[in-house]
Structure 1
Amino acid sequence: MGVGERSRLIVLALAVAGLIALCGPQIAAMLSPAPARTPTQAWSLCPAPNLCRPVDVSSLALDAPITTLTTSFVAGPDDRTAHLALHIAATASAEVRWNGALIGTNGQVGPDREHETPGRFSSLITIPQDRVRLGPNRVEVRLSAHHLWAPVRRPIHDLSIGPYSDPLHGTLRHYLPTLLLSGLLALAFLGAAGLWLARRPPGSATLALLTGAVLAQTAVEASKLALTYSYPWQLVRLTAVAGLAAIAALALGCLAQVFVPDRRLRWGLTAALVLALLIALFGPPWWDAKALWAFRAGAFATLTAATVGALSGVRNARTAQAASVVALTLSWAPDFLDTGYYLLFLTLFGALAAQAIRLARPAPVPSTLATDETLSIPDGSSRRLIRASDLLHVRASDDYSLITLTDGKELLSTANLSALVRLAPGHLLRIHRSHAVNPAWIAAVHRSGRSGPIVELKGGIRLPIGRVYRAALDERIA
């Protein structure tokens, strides 16, 4: 088995591992028996005072004008001295009665939208100790949800009686890591925006969009620490998280296309990613699942692009493959969206920051790239010999270069545009910060036009002329 064949097998093995990480846990969950449910407070649905039936509140749709739920809480001697509370996490307003007496409300329950005041998504109703009596206690909860502006598969997330605990303490403990990470993400966004504005690799508008979307998602996630909002705004929050996750996934997939040398394949991968994101946003009924599957779509798009690049020998493509497999695997961890999601992106941004520092150092053109009629072009882990006269034009692609030959073939080189221009100064002329052309193939220079000055090559290709490069172009073609 040769080295090339062994490398190909490693690349294909990573691609299969990524596919298993994407679909394996979901398939295993479908084939495995459902886990035993943890016993919870037993509730009954009472459409009328004397007409009650047991119900699973986690699958109850709040489609009646007012939904009435009842349960019996059997109190022991210790419960009379304990601080008890009813925890409600639901997209609904609530009214709680204990042994017939009203002990608390969350918003105002009403038979229609006009008479209902939306309550908070999560609330604690404290139970007065003097209301708790030994033995059975009748608990009645009335709910209404007339301000839902989007369908919710599970309106009630929690309805339980237990010891009182400070809700802010639990929320702070859960979201504190995300809040701390937001400072590093803000630095990543400022750095990406600075690189983009300074036109320094690996900066780009796509990278700035990615860091901005992740930073905004962090702010929305941690907003529960500072804001107290009603349950309709909880839907706004969940929608924003899913939408920002989709934007980040799209930007991630577009960044990964640097590994794909073929332009038509890049467009195809982008279209497939957009379709996958639409399915992720409108397919799963659970809001967290929308954001999770959007992230998985972006990670799998990155895996696909990296696989194509690795098979073509593009530098760092196999590393991107392995990182995508790790990301897909970790996405099945509990509470991944709250912490692990941001740690993964911070790792990516840290790697890109290290790359920016490395590229900022002036690097001489390798001696093997001699200025000769035959050029040795770095192509991943190998080199390709190309006659300089066969060059048509070169387009910058982050810290890579997309070379178009006179016969129409394209080659993705790991040398940047500046290095290639220094390699073949007699056959490449820079006309734009992103383009260099072979002067021998210039058919015309158009000084004015709707999109500004352009160079027209033989064959009809038109490329823009950068303002700072016009003088050199005029001198060269004079």
Structure 2
Amino acid sequence: MQYCDYQRLRAVFCTLLLLVSANSIARDWTHINYQQIRVCPGGEVIPNFEDDACTTQSFFSADPQGRAIWIEASLHLSERWQEGAEPLAFYLFAKASSKVYLNGRLLGTNGRVSLDGEHELAGRMDTRFYVPPGLIRTGENRVVIHLSSHQSILRLSSPLHLAALGKYQNSTDYFGIEPHMQLSVLCILLLGGLYLLMLRLSPLRAKIPSGLIWLIGIAVVQLAAEQLRGWFSYPYPLHDVRLVLILVCAMTFGFGLLVYLLRLCQFDTKVKLSVLAPVIGLTSMLVFFSPGFDLKTTLAVSIPALAGVGVACWYYYRHRTGKALLFAATLGVFVMAAMLSLQSFHSLLFYVMVTLLLGVLLGMHIRQLGELQIQTMADQQAIAKLQVKLSQLNKTGTQQYLTLTFGSAAERIDVGQILWCRAAGDYVELHLDGGKERLYSGTLKSLIDKLPGTFMQVHRSYLVDLDKVRRIALNKDKTESGYAFLYLSDGNRVPVSRRLLGQVRGTIE
């Protein structure tokens, strides 16, 4: 198991964090006057906005959910909009079907606006309307919007998100670099999940926590749902489905993270339940009563993470382990970032922090696996040494013989006389004390099974009795094969492969 290059990982994550701030690129848009618009009940024709049934309010408080409404707003444009030669569009991001007029001219429809849900055709969540040349004027422009939203699953506190004039482009371009950054984070999470799945298929399967794989999987699903709006302009009823999916994933991730920490700290069932029950209850209550899905999503993760800080600190107080301190510090930074940006934390910053958090957990497990593999190799060498010692005792206690056949003839030789063996095609050369040589009819592998445990394969073609080894030396002559040589009691030397050198040296020493 090779350790991760932590310097490179740190550089990648720092780059992601820098690009989060780069997302505040100035976009060339002019918005309507959001603070003061006129709202009238819906009808088939444009109403008189001075009527007593109409009210003055902010754009974001206007609510077409379950009804149809008319909106009148002012759009103030400078002279540069008249001078530009590029095509223009009016953008409307709202959970509603819509029809837009600019300076008395219909720009287009998005779905079909209706007074009832039976006749309404759901429009796109984020849409644009082409603005013909010469329609806009310097100064005040009158925007009238007809809206209805009868097919909503949820009732949002603010279903209207944006109304602005800009250059004609895809409506998803408004989100700028953020969807691309989210995609980068998504790829990092997917690679981490695939890496863990590969480890689960390895001999170290039992040491890979399935909880960490589930946490990465939940984060991937949540991020995929989050960035959907940045890539596709979907029908507005799907916006509610997307929000519910994000919230469910956030709550599942938060509770799953706390369960993972409790299991990692090896608390008993009673302690786990005494921590989980109040945290789940408090989080569910805060999520239910909090306004807006942005705040709900942030609280769904940050409250269990805050409880996780307490769990890690308690474990550190009891056991004084660096692992618990690292957990507490990482979760503390996560919670602090969430508290300092409650309304915006759910976007790119949230997923960067989640990736960093999961990266820390993954790095700790990789380190543990590395330590485990080192210990396993040490145990294997100790077992090999013990087997050699047992074989030596068996050799001294009883004399062993190897029968060699030559056609109809046979010869028995004392195994103790064999110094080393070399494969030669369908035969194996046996080199004995006194410079004698014999041939064994068979492969090196079949010969190993007939010899005591003091014999060890040190090269693809060589087998040596470790009792006859006097010293080991590295091969300084690169023209000769073998990474190192074993010097035997008869003065001969046998090559050792690089792959087997550590095991040979550990067994001899």
Instruction: State the partner residue of 2:375.
Output: 363
Would you say the 8 A contact 1:45–1:67 is kept in 2? Answer: yes
Would you say the 8 A contact 1:260–1:305 is kept in 2? Answer: no
Would you say the 8 A contact 1:261–1:309 is kept in 2? Answer: no
Look up the equivalent residue of 1:205 and give its one-letter code.
S
The Cα shift of 1:298 comes to 2.3
The Cα shift of 1:39 comes to 6.5
The Cα shift of 1:74 comes to 4.9
Give the distance between the partners of 1:64 and 1:354, measured in 2 at CA.
Answer: 50
Look up the equivalent residue of 1:89 and give its one-letter code.
F
The Cα shift of 1:56 comes to 0.8
The Cα shift of 1:154 comes to 0.7
The answer to whether the aligner puts 1:352 opposite 2:344 as a matched pair is no
Look up the equivalent residue of 1:276 and give its one-letter code.
L
Moved more, 298-307 or 60-69: 60-69
Following superposition, which runs of at least 4 residues in structure 1 exceed 6 angstroms of deviation? none
SS at match of 2:177: helix
SS at match of 1:241: helix
Look up the equivalent residue of 2:39 and give its one-letter code.
L
Give the distance between the partners of 1:57 and 1:283, measured in 2 at CA.
Answer: 24
Instruction: State the partner residue of 1:67.
Output: 69
Unaligned segments of structure 1, at least 5 residues: 1-37, 367-478
Give the distance between the partners of 1:349 and 1:290, measured in 2 at CA.
Answer: 22
Cα pair distance change 1:165/1:149, threshold 3 Å: same
SS at match of 1:363: helix
Instruction: State the partner residue of 1:44.
Output: 38
Instruction: State the partner residue of 1:312.
Output: 318
Instruction: State the partner residue of 2:350.
Output: 341
SS at match of 1:336: coil
The Cα shift of 1:294 comes to 0.8
Instruction: State the partner residue of 2:152.
Output: 148
Which residue of the other structure, out of 95, 100, 107, is the alignment partner of 2:104?
100
Instruction: State the partner residue of 2:292.
Output: 286
The Cα shift of 1:145 comes to 0.5
SS at match of 2:375: coil
Give the distance between the partners of 1:118 and 1:293, measured in 2 at CA.
Answer: 31
Would you say the 8 A contact 2:125–2:233 is kept in 1? Answer: no
SS at match of 2:205: coil
SS at match of 2:129: strand
Give the distance between the partners of 2:270 and 2:173, measured in 1 at CA.
Answer: 52
Normalization by structure 1: what TM-score?
0.63
Moved more, 82-91 or 163-172: 163-172
The Cα shift of 1:125 comes to 2.1
The Cα shift of 1:79 comes to 3.4
Give the distance between the partners of 1:256 and 1:172, measured in 2 at CA.
Answer: 36
Instruction: State the partner residue of 2:332.
Output: 325
Cα pair distance change 1:202/1:255, threshold 3 Å: farther
Instruction: State the partner residue of 2:280.
Output: 274
Cα pair distance change 1:201/1:170, threshold 3 Å: farther
Give the distance between the partners of 1:64 and 1:44, measured in 2 at CA.
Answer: 19
The answer to whether the aligner puts 1:80 opposite 2:82 as a matched pair is yes
Bigger Rg, which one:
2
Q: Deviations over 1:353-387 (max 9, x none)?
A: 33333333132799xxxxxxxxxxxxxxxxxxxxx
SS at match of 1:337: coil
Give the distance between the partners of 1:228 and 1:274, measured in 2 at CA.
Answer: 35
Moved more, 243-252 or 60-69: 60-69
Look up the equivalent residue of 1:141 and give its one-letter code.
I
Give the distance between the partners of 1:79 and 1:172, measured in 2 at CA.
Answer: 21
Give the distance between the partners of 1:136 and 1:355, measured in 2 at CA.
Answer: 60
SS at match of 2:147: strand
Give the distance between the partners of 2:206 and 2:279, measured in 1 at CA.
Answer: 25
Instruction: State the partner residue of 1:261.
Output: 267
Which residue of the other structure, out of 228, 238, 243, is the alignment partner of 2:248?
243
Would you say the 8 A contact 2:330–2:357 is kept in 1? Answer: no
Would you say the 8 A contact 1:95–1:143 is kept in 2? Answer: yes
The Cα shift of 1:328 comes to 0.7
The answer to whether the aligner puts 1:301 opposite 2:282 as a matched pair is no
The answer to whether the aligner puts 1:185 opposite 2:189 as a matched pair is yes
Cα pair distance change 1:81/1:104, threshold 3 Å: farther
Which residue of the other structure, out of 208, 231, 234, is the alignment partner of 2:236?
231
Instruction: State the partner residue of 1:31.
Output: none
The Cα shift of 1:200 comes to 3.5
The Cα shift of 1:45 comes to 1.3
Cα pair distance change 1:194/1:250, threshold 3 Å: farther
The Cα shift of 1:135 comes to 5.4
Moved more, 318-327 or 75-84: 75-84
Give the distance between the partners of 1:97 and 1:170, measured in 2 at CA.
Answer: 21
The Cα shift of 1:309 comes to 0.6
The Cα shift of 1:163 comes to 5.2
Matched residue count: 330
Look up the equivalent residue of 1:250 and give its one-letter code.
F
Normalization by structure 2: what TM-score?
0.59
Would you say the 8 A contact 2:91–2:163 is kept in 1? Answer: yes
The Cα shift of 1:343 comes to 2.3
Instruction: State the partner residue of 1:27.
Output: none
Cα pair distance change 1:121/1:354, threshold 3 Å: same
Cα pair distance change 1:352/1:322, threshold 3 Å: closer
Give the distance between the partners of 1:107 and 1:197, measured in 2 at CA.
Answer: 50
Give the distance between the partners of 2:66 and 2:276, measured in 1 at CA.
Answer: 44
Give the distance between the partners of 2:276 and 2:61, measured in 1 at CA.
Answer: 37
Q: Deviations over 1:53-110 (max 9, x none)?
A: 3211212222563200112345554433445433212111110112322111222111
Would you say the 8 A contact 2:117–2:150 is kept in 1? Answer: yes
Would you say the 8 A contact 1:120–1:229 is kept in 2? Answer: yes
The Cα shift of 1:265 comes to 1.4
Unaligned segments of structure 2, at least 5 residues: 1-31, 42-46, 379-509
Cα pair distance change 1:133/1:327, threshold 3 Å: closer
Instruction: State the partner residue of 2:464.
Output: none
Look up the equivalent residue of 2:58 and give its one-letter code.
D
Instruction: State the partner residue of 2:60.
Output: 58
Give the distance between the partners of 1:208 and 1:171, measured in 2 at CA.
Answer: 30
Give the distance between the partners of 2:113 and 2:361, measured in 1 at CA.
Answer: 52
Look up the equivalent residue of 2:205 and give its one-letter code.
R
Give the distance between the partners of 2:233 and 2:74, measured in 1 at CA.
Answer: 31
